[in-house]
Amino acid sequence: MSILCRVDDKMVPLYRVMWLAATPHFCGEEDCIREGCYEVRLEQGESVWASANERDNLQQHLERWQGGLGYEDGEEHDGTW
Ligand SMILES: [Zn+2]
Per-residue pLDDT of the chain (81 residues; tens, 9 = 90+): 688 999 999 999 999 999 999 999 999 999 999 999 999 999 999 999 999 999 999 999 998 886 555 555 555 555 555
Structural domain includes residue 76: no
Can you give the CATH number for the domain in which 32 is found? 2.40.50
Structural domain includes residue 77: no
Q: Give the pLDDT confidence score for residue 65 in this predicted structure.
A: 82
Question: Which residues are placed with Cβ below 5 angstroms of ligand 1, an ion?
Answer: 27, 29, 32, 34
Of the candidates 14, 16, 34, which has an alpha carbon nearest to the alpha carbon of residue 25?
Answer: 34
DSSP 18-72: EEE-SS------TT-S-TT-EEEEEGGG-EEEE-HHHHHHHHHHHHHH-TT----
Q: Give the pLDDT confidence score for residue 40 in this predicted structure.
A: 97
Structural domain includes residue 59: yes
Of the candidates 50, 77, 49, 47, which has an alpha carbon nearest to the alpha carbon of residue 65?
Answer: 77
Domain that holds residue 51: 4-65
Centre of ligand 1 to C-alpha 62, Å, is: 25
Q: Give the pLDDT confidence score for residue 6 in this predicted structure.
A: 95
- Judge if pTM exceeds 0.95: no
